[in-house]
Amino acid sequence: MRPCHFAVFSLISLAALAELRGETPDSPRSAPAADARLTYSYVHVAGPYIALTFDDGPSVKLTPKLLDLLAAHRIKATFFVIGENVAEHPEITARAAREGHEIANHTWSHSNFAKMSDEPVRRQLRQTDDAIRDATGDRPTLFRPPYGSITTRQKRWIHDDFGYDIVLWDVDPLDWKRPGPTVVANRIVKMTRAGSIVLAHDIHPGTVAAMPSILDQLEAKGFQFVTVSQLIAMAIPPTPPPVKPQSGASTGTAPPRARSTNPSPSPSG
């Protein structure tokens, strides 16, 4: 298991930055407004669409099993792969891409970018980008930083240099702690809502074991599964907040959901 220490979390989907709190180096408060358009942890959509994401693979033992299950359900997911794993098993990543799943960059060796200088970061991204292209024929367009650890400045130049959107998550079952398949399933099913980006890891047996039940339950709730890029393409503007009355008692105008997309701080990713 990877030691996943929480370093930083941030999420800025299409939401208003002013609503967000955070004091990390990646603080949305200090982020320029443009940052909102290149980082996604949730997407405001008009239908029951969600994106399942699987990090840290491919795993020679588990990923093919997961691909069989997704194929049986005709579900497309997004795999945030580790470059060195792709180089070791390009055939698994090639199969995932062939079957319609999205393949995305999750660094070469699961590095903590916020603690690194630009050159090693660039090397991690480039090598992984190349490994994915070699395996699938296509370059990825999405990047997820391990542990969600990335600075605002890094997001900016990574987006400019590689064209990547930065993808975080809003549903985290903490499956890397291996709480057992039932707990993983219950957490995901409980937290997932329209527009969710669900984080899971296809390197943990309990996560893959939980998936049949998770898919059944999410399907029963009417969710439809798309890749992260497809979900982003479906984004609609956040609902404007209700107009406050000129006077009188507070009406407790809660911000609309798209403005409160902050997930629980999470050490995952």
Q: What single-letter amino acid sits at 57?
A: G
Please, which residue, 35 or 202, has the CB nearer to Zn ion? 202
Residue 146 near Zn ion by CB under 5 A: yes
For the segment 177-216, give every residue that binds Zn ion (CB under 5 A).
none
End-to-end Cα separation, the chain, in angstroms:
12
Give the β-pairing of 142-143 and 224-225.
unpaired
Nearest residue to the partner Zn ion, using Cβ:
55
State the DSSP code for 196.
Answer: B
206, 178 in Cβ contact below 8 A?
Answer: yes
Residue 102 near Zn ion by CB under 5 A: no
Q: Which stretch binds Zn ion (CB under 5 A): 113-121, 140-148, 190-198, 254-262?
A: 140-148
List CB contacts of 100: < 8 A, sequence separation 6 or more: 76
3-state secondary structure of 201: strand
Q: How many residues bind Zn ion (CB under 5 A)?
A: 4
Site string (26-55) toward Zn ion, x via CB under 5 A: -----------------------------x
Give backbone dihedrals phi and psi of 71, rounded to 5 degrees, phi first. -65, -40
Please, which residue, 146 or 263, has the CB nearer to Zn ion? 146
CB of 110 vs Zn ion, minimal distance in Å: 6
Q: Which two tokens stand for residue 154?
A: 């890094």
Please, which residue, 22 or 146, has the CB nearer to Zn ion? 146
Q: Which stretch binds Zn ion (CB under 5 A): 160-168, 180-188, 233-241, 261-269?
A: 261-269
Please, which residue, 195 or 269, has the CB nearer to Zn ion? 269
| Cα-only R_g, the chain | 18
Q: Using the structure block, give the residue that is written with the tokens 């942890």.
A: 41
Give backbone dihedrals phi and psi of 146, rounded to 5 degrees, phi first. -55, 140
173, 187 in Cβ contact below 8 A?
Answer: yes
Please, which residue, 45 or 228, has the CB nearer to Zn ion? 228
Residue 175 near Zn ion by CB under 5 A: no
For the segment 50-89, give every residue that binds Zn ion (CB under 5 A).
55-56
Active site members: 55, 201
Interface contacts to Zn ion, rule CB under 5 A: 55-56, 146, 269
